A and B are shown apart, each in its own frame.
Chain A
């Protein structure tokens, strides 16, 4: 049955909706090979102008369309996940995840980063506004946090540098911390 390999890609994405699996070069190559074979056979059949196999052309054409849909959906859904990562992880993706992305996807992410940064810089009459902060309405200026991992030196907006060590608690301004909390490096403590 045609289209099985294409379906494999879709099933792979559907199986793990919250994780980006490694880019499946192999299966994609197999799908493209199948598509080429189908296309060639169709071309030969139509060259012969043998009306008897009009049905066969339909079958192969439907399979080509199906394979194309699977490939495009695979790429599109991966790109969507990568875009979401910009808002979750920030502008730098952890190396383990980057390993699962193919080169064009990494380039896409960098371009998206650039576009987003340019857009954010231009908000408010060139004053700039970081849209990725304050995903939730802020409650107070300073928050208490506990450091979950050794992070090292971290520079605040006002120039102060604080060394973040695992296990220590800090009272820090909300803005700079938010990104680190989302990345799981700091933990927000509420009484």
Chain B
């Protein structure tokens, strides 16, 4: 799975917008959206919000957690805890990335928010790196890391699973051979 696919999954998250047009309900396979009334907030998936914003048909309401104070709190917690803390959203990085790129004018103090998010991301990535180090060093058969988001998990794919596959292969070795059965594989 790569970043584009993770982004695609994250785009399904709902965000609040205030449209400047009127439209009736849109019926989609994943659910109904709308109705749209100018000036009244409505929840839509991020992909639709971005498309509308680009055409200047709405104003995006930042998610409840996307403000400097709450994020500072999250960052402090992340620094203090040894393990990963629960993030305000399952796709916090993607949502922030998308919304800040398209609706920077609707989100107050967006540069500061960007910086804090980057700090949180860096802290979590370094925790992840040392966890991975631990996993390999201690021969763990399984490891459990709570509260990791999909984007963070993706950052160690495909290197970690493939590396562990190779380790597993070496561990099992070829074993003692049976007389003629394995000959075909050595030629």
Contact = CB atoms under 8 A, between A and B. Distances in A.
Q: Please determine if A and B sit in direct contact within the complex, based on CB atoms under 8 angstroms apart.
A: yes
Interface of A: 62, 65-66, 68-69, 136-137, 140
B4 A136 contact: yes
Contacts of B184: 65, 69
A84 to B, nearest CB: 18
Contacts, number: 16
6 contacts: A62-B187, A65-B187, A68-B187, A137-B4, A137-B7, A140-B51
B8 A69 contact: no
B4 A65 contact: no
B183 interface: yes
B5 interface: yes
Contacts of B4: 136-137
For chain B, give the interface size range. under 10
B5 A137 contact: yes
Given A66-B187, A69-B187, 6 more contacts: A62-B187, A65-B184, A68-B187, A136-B5, A137-B5, A137-B8
Interface string B1-20: 00011011000000000000
A137 B9 CA distance: 10
A66 B183 CA distance: 10
A66 B5 CA distance: 43
Contacts of A136: 4-5
A137 B7 CA distance: 9
B53 to A, nearest CB: 13
